[in-house]
Structure 1
Amino acid sequence: MDIKLWQAIIYIVLALIIGAAAGFFIARAWFKNYLKKNPPVNERMIREMMRQMGRTPSEKQVRQVMSSMNQVK
């Protein structure tokens, strides 16, 4: 009876380790796919947003917006 208990404990620990490893790689693949579909904001996007709002941004304004966005992260 004692051997079966130890086997059960070993199987549970192995299942947890394998599940954690599989979860890590699945989450990593999902996140890479998400970033490919929804890239982070870059300077070109900021320029386009300002143009859509009716403003012609200078390079200084674009860099200020980028630096403020990077500070928030």
Structure 2
Amino acid sequence: MELGIIWIILIALVALIAGAALGFFIARKYMMNYLKKNPPINEQMLRTLMMQMGQKPSQKKINQMMKQMNNQMDK
């Protein structure tokens, strides 16, 4: 009788750990795809940020910074 209870507890713990790990990876994949489709910063936000810091942003500089951020997100 005690052996059956131990097996039930063991199976429940394994299922709980597996479910938590699976949920974590599914949530991580969903967020990565969401951030790739909807980046948290766009060119207009970057231009405004640079102007607030006292810089006159050129389109070339904005493109470089956007490319760097996209490369960082791909890693």
Q: TM-score, normalised by structure 1?
A: 0.61
Q: State the match for 1:70 in structure 2.
A: none
Whether 1:23 aligns to 2:23 is yes
Q: Which is greater in Rg?
A: 1
Bigger relative contact order (CA 8 A; separation at least 6): 2
**Any idea what the Cα deviations from partners look like across 1:13-56, whole Å, max 9, x if unmatched?**
000000011011000000001001110114x2224xxxxxxxxx
**What is the letter of the counterpart of residue 24 of structure 1?**
F
- Measured in 1, the distance between the counterparts of 2:40 and 2:4 equals 52
Q: State the match for 1:14 in structure 2.
A: 14
Segments of structure 2 that go 5 or more residues without pairing to the other structure are 55-75
- Measured in 2, the distance between the counterparts of 1:10 and 1:24 equals 21
- Measured in 2, the distance between the counterparts of 1:27 and 1:10 equals 26
- Measured in 2, the distance between the counterparts of 1:31 and 1:60 equals 30
**Which runs of 4 or more aligned residues in structure 1 lie more than 2 Å from their structure 2 counterparts after TM superposition?**
none
RMSD (Å) for aligned C-alpha atoms: 1.9
Shift of 1:4: 0.4
Number of positions where the alignment pairs a residue of Structure 1 with one of Structure 2: 52
Q: TM-score, normalised by structure 2?
A: 0.60
Segments of structure 1 that go 5 or more residues without pairing to the other structure are 48-56, 65-73
- Measured in 2, the distance between the counterparts of 1:60 and 1:33 equals 30
